[in-house]
Structure 1
Amino acid sequence: MRPPALFRASLFLGLLFAACQGLAAEYVIERMKDNVYRFTAGNYRSAFMVTDAGIIATDPLNPRAAAWLKDELARRFDVPLRYVIYSHNHVDHSYGGQALNGDGVYFVAHRLARADLVHTRADTRIPDITFDNEMTLYLGEARVALRYHGVNNGRGSVSMHFQPANVMYVVDWIVLGRMPYKNLKGYDIQGMIDSTEDILATDFELFIGGHGDAGDKADVARYLAYLNALYDSVRDGMLAGRSLAQLQDDIRLPEFNELRMYDAWLKLNIEGVHDTLIDKSYFDMRPDVPAN
């Protein structure tokens, strides 16, 4: 039998090794196209662009993930972090900003996203730079065009178009290869459709999302087709006087059953559109909608 001290040391080293292996599996950096990279932390993804003049990063995600990313950026690239861009106000993407903070690092967000972080006293780094509709950040020979498309998810959600790599990055309101999240908490379904149409009208080659898969314009169009089919089915069913329970029993959309979480989240997606049409469009108060 081993001496107790030796056993405890072996156990500690084993646990430490397992923890390091877990971090390696949870956090991944991938080069996606040219100088644009994707950072994955569990089910979350952010992006960053490396230039000769420095690095432009996006959502920190959370304090632990951001601390790991900062160390990796310093280890892998011989240029400093210059900008951190928040995609929107939601704390599961914007927290951890303090870990990426430092001398010469500027934080950027849409005006509405910053205002929400301030008003709610969010425990993250508050942005220095804001904009209303569009803004372009230049760093060396590269640039990222930021654009606000109106309501879609949370407050101040923007797209980020990285050039010259021609990579589009959007968080939450476009998710490729997977259903929109559960009952669409924090989403505006009409705004999601409008904003996704805006993205498709933009010239880009590669799409990276805050969740789900990377893809191209055809993949984004496929996602938009699902949103339209979902919205039309729920709207038309409500106009016919069907209850939420009836809608969830009747609507199937089998042509989209390849999407991950289809079986688990379809009824929740239906609920989300139903509730949005009541909350935002007052379907329950319309005299032309039969009572159910």
Structure 2
Amino acid sequence: MAKSFASAGDMTEKKITFTEVGRDLWAFTAEGDPNTGVIIGDDSVMIVDAQATPRLANKVIEKIRGVTDKPVKYVVLTHYHAVRVLGASAYGASETIMSQTARSMVVERGQEDWDSEFARFPRLFQGHESIPGLTWPTLTFGDSMTLYLGKRRVDLEFLGRGHTAGDIVAHVPDANVMFTGDLVEYHSACYCGDAHFSDWPETLDMIRSYGLDAIAPGRGDALVGEDKVNDALDKTSDFLESTYRPIARVAQGGGSLKEAWDACRAVCDPKFSSYAIYEHCLPFNVARAYDEALGIDTPRIWTAERDREMWERLQD
């Protein structure tokens, strides 16, 4: 029996948690589904990653209204992927913020990514008819931007390429808490279809250098305490290395994509097969690592058609 494409067969609702990771700092998590961060300042609220649809975003808003009635002023999007950005309209924010690189990726491949992810994650796109269109930022920046929610400072920073070329983090200095988007995952597979494997470990080292007290990762549980933070950084780094090295050996030795897939599975299955969305991510991760090992620096654009062709080729 053929495997369901990506997460097309996963229609089970996930248990939502809403965890305080620092004073007035919250992580909305759902058993490996995309997380959303909430930063509450003196006068307003900042959202970090918006969910895939306004319907899902309303679940975040419901949790927010259980702890504050302050208005949402900013929606910060750590990168361009559809499951992170297409719910942004629900928050009614004054400003929507991305890195300039992330915005350029919306221009280049935003619609293709939406079409692709819609087929991969049908459960996350329930209520998709309420999406008004591609999410465009009203503010962009290069390497850093500082915003204030009253007296509370939030630093938005590009620390290096990783999950995509345009990932940013949100650091709240008064609590030493960081919202990392998909640069850090916890007991969830890293999606690497748009990744830069060679750069990502250095970006993780930059995150580690903050000596953080807590992280709200892109997927998986909120990480409170130095031990949890370092464990998540170690596990994310190990996932990337364990994925890339066997694939690179095959690719650079003239082997096929299917041979790279087999080599990757031999290393990664024993360690990571229990992780959320592991089987979903694996074909995309193998394809991107294979390309990067052969010197293709810019990830090729994923389309719904390319997804299916690659999936059938590797699942055979």
Question: Same fold by TM-score, threshold 0.5 exceeded?
Answer: yes
Q: CA RMSD for the aligned pairs?
A: 3.1
Which residue number in structure 2 is paired with residue 114 of structure 1? 103
SS in 1 for 2:178: strand
Of residues 291, 296, 306, the one that matches 1:275 is 291
Q: After the TM superposition, which residues 140-289 of structure 1 pair with which residues of structure 2 at under 5 Å, given as runs?
A: 140-154=150-164, 156-181=166-191, 184-215=192-223, 216-251=229-264, 252-253=266-267, 256-257=271-272, 260=275, 264=279, 268=283, 269-278=285-294, 280=296
* TM score, norm. by length of structure 2: 0.69
Q: What letter is aligned with 2:249?
A: D
Question: Within the alignment, does 1:70 sit opposite 2:70 as a pair?
Answer: no
State the shift of 1:220 in Å.
0.5
Letter in 2 for 1:156: G
1:90 is matched with which residue?
A: 81
Aligned residue in 1 for 2:18: 29
- How many percent of aligned residue pairs carry the same amino acid? 21
Does the CA contact (< 8 Å) of 1:41 and 1:65 recur in 2?
Answer: no
Structure 1 stretches lacking a partner, 5+ long: 1-21, 283-292
1:223 Cα deviation after fit: 1.7
Check whether the contact 1:54–1:139 (CA below 8 A) recurs between aligned residues: yes
Higher Cα Rg, which structure:
1
Tell me how far apart the structure 1 counterparts of residues 19 and 239 of structure 2 sit (CA, whole Å).
Answer: 28
Structure 1 segments of 4+ aligned residues over 6 angstroms from their partners: none
In structure 1, C-alpha distance between the alignment counterparts of 2:277 and 2:104, rounded to whole Å = 35
How many residue pairs are counted as aligned between the two chains? 256
Please name the residue that 1:55 is paired with. Answer: 45
Helix, strand or coil for the counterpart of 1:253? helix
What SS does the corresponding residue of 1:222 show, helix, strand or coil? Answer: helix
Larger RCO, structures 1/2 (Cα 8 Å, 6+ apart): 2
